[in-house]
Amino acid sequence: MEWLIDYHLWASLLSLTALEIVLGIDNVVFIALVVGHLPPAQRSRARTIGLMLALLMRIAMLFGIVWIISLKTPLFHLLGHGLSGKDLMMLGGGLFLLYKATNGIRDEVTGERVEEYRTFEGNFTSTILQIVVIDIIFSFDSVITAVGLTEMIFVIIAAMTIAMVVMLASSGFIADFIAAHPTIKMLALSFVMMIGVFLIAEGVGFHVPKGYIYFGMAFSLAVEMLNLLARRRKTG
């Protein structure tokens, strides 16, 4: 029962769940377009089945990444530092997160993001397959972020599951809230960038205690909540 009072467990679970929801809402909106051509009676079922299968694919992807991270024997040396499979995964994942977060922040700041609305066609089965493929493409950064935030696999799986259930139940409300408060999305992207830097540091041999990351995220989120309350008070 020690897990009930484990600070790292609960901090990582709450942080990951919040990030999964904020960063994954675009995916849910996009999937709504995919099922739009189906009869109304099939849309909800296709979305639910597709996302459940996508969750299983995310978990499989997670275990694949964790297996690579377990490879700690140096493969070669660079500038006197031995690089293992884990180090290469950390470096590659960190650079990928920096790229994704930087692009996301640029799009949010400049407003230059162009949404591509495609007309999806096909029967019920092909629609589900499209949902799974889209989710795999969209979710790689969230899986890398999760691995960078905690090494507890069951916490990552729990956070992914909780986030998906929440998004299925209230995706409309969450999308409207983020649209009305774009700084929340910006904050989430900043967290992803911070985790990317952390992964790169880990890859080159510098260990950063995860408690610093949890504290930084909690402090930033608390400040943002105070800002939201202050803005609501002024406009109310």
Query: What's the rounded mean pLDDT across residues 125-154?
Result: 76
- How many whole angstroms separate alpha carbon 80 and alpha carbon 92? 19
Instruction: Give the pLDDT confidence of 82-120 residue by residue, as tens digits.
Output: 778 778 878 888 888 788 888 888 877 776 654 544 555
> Which pTM was predicted?
0.67
Angle among Cα 171, 128, 34 to the nearest 5 degrees reads 55
Listed in sequence order, the residues at least 6 apart from 201 whose beta carbon sits closer than 8 Å to its beta carbon are 94, 207, 208
- How many whole angstroms separate alpha carbon 135 and alpha carbon 143? 11
Instruction: Give the pLDDT confidence of 22-57 residue by residue, as tens digits.
Output: 777 667 666 766 776 778 777 778 777 877 887 788
Kind and range of the H or E run holding 76: strand 76-78
Structure tokens at 41: 């009676």
Q: Which whole-number Å values give the CA distances from 234 to 110, 178, 192, in the listed order?
A: 26, 19, 31
Better-scored residue on pLDDT, 63 or 176: 63
pLDDT of residue 33: 67
Mean pLDDT computed over every residue of the chain? 76
Instruction: Give the pLDDT confidence of 5-29 residue by residue, as tens digits.
Output: 677 787 888 888 887 777 776 676 6
